[in-house]
A and B are shown apart, each in its own frame.
Chain A
């Protein structure tokens, strides 16, 4: 079930379907901004859920970092779109991400203790892998504005660190 949902999100991210403003150039900057912001907000919400549920020190410190780092990137993203006078545009990819995340929050909400910790960390690994892949192969190449591209690139460096960190946490939990 979880895998199927994740696959659906990956499919939307990798097949440039409704997210495309223009098939040749990929998603527009307004759409990219919405996808990136949505992904960040999803991870902040997941981190807050983990902070509310987990008692594991390693999981809590990871979750606190997710909330802090993703909040910071999203703050920067909001400031940038305001400066550029761009209104983030909802699109197929951001909608798919949101509905997959909603289902994950619900599913993780039913778990407790070590089961929750493992599910949270596993989902973080999968989520960062998906988002990082999309950033690298689609969103960054498609971004037109140089400042947006730069923010996405910094984001990718950051999220790769998160992915590695989540993988380390998963190894400890096993």
Chain B
């Protein structure tokens, strides 16, 4: 009984040794759609290195501009622009032209 348990333990330890060490999750690409003067749903799990593709479906020029100046994405009508998130924490952003359009990106720390 003991021998079997020991064997199982050895086997499982060996198996775990064979597994690659845990790596950081691969960067993800998220989409945020702007439509009818609003930023659509924001990504829930955001990590540094992830990207956001901003799609402006409005006929108006908008921007996605971070209050902490970490990004400023110009979004003419129908534009589609990719942004790589570099910083972490809560990033407040708004449209420079229409400051009532705003949101907060919550970027997890690694």
Contacts and interface: CB of A to CB of B under 8 A. Distances in A.
Contact of A161 (B37, B59, B61, B77): B37
B60 A72 contact: yes
A38 to B, nearest CB: 19
Contacts of B98: 158, 161, 165
A164 B99 contact: yes
A58 B61 CA distance: 18
Interface size class of chain B, counting residues whose CB lies under 8 Å from the partner chain:
10 to 19
Contact of B99 (A73, A154, A161): A161
Nearest to A76: B59
Contacts of B101: 161
B81 interface: no
B100 A164 contact: yes
Nearest to B59: A72
Interface of A: 65, 68-69, 72-73, 75-76, 150, 153-154, 157-158, 160-161, 164-165
Interface of B: 36-38, 58-61, 77, 97-101
Contacts of B77: 72
A5 to B, nearest CB: 29
Contacts of B61: 68-69
B98 to A, nearest CB: 4
A104 B77 CA distance: 31
A154 B37 contact: yes
Contacts of B36: 150, 153-154, 157
Given A76-B59, A161-B100, 14 more contacts: A68-B60, A72-B59, A72-B77, A153-B36, A157-B36, A157-B37, A157-B38, A157-B100, A158-B60, A161-B98, A161-B101, A164-B99, A164-B100, A165-B98
Contacts of B58: 154
A33 B76 CA distance: 26
A165 B95 CA distance: 12
A114 to B, nearest CB: 24
B99 A75 contact: no
A158 B99 contact: no
A165 B59 CA distance: 19
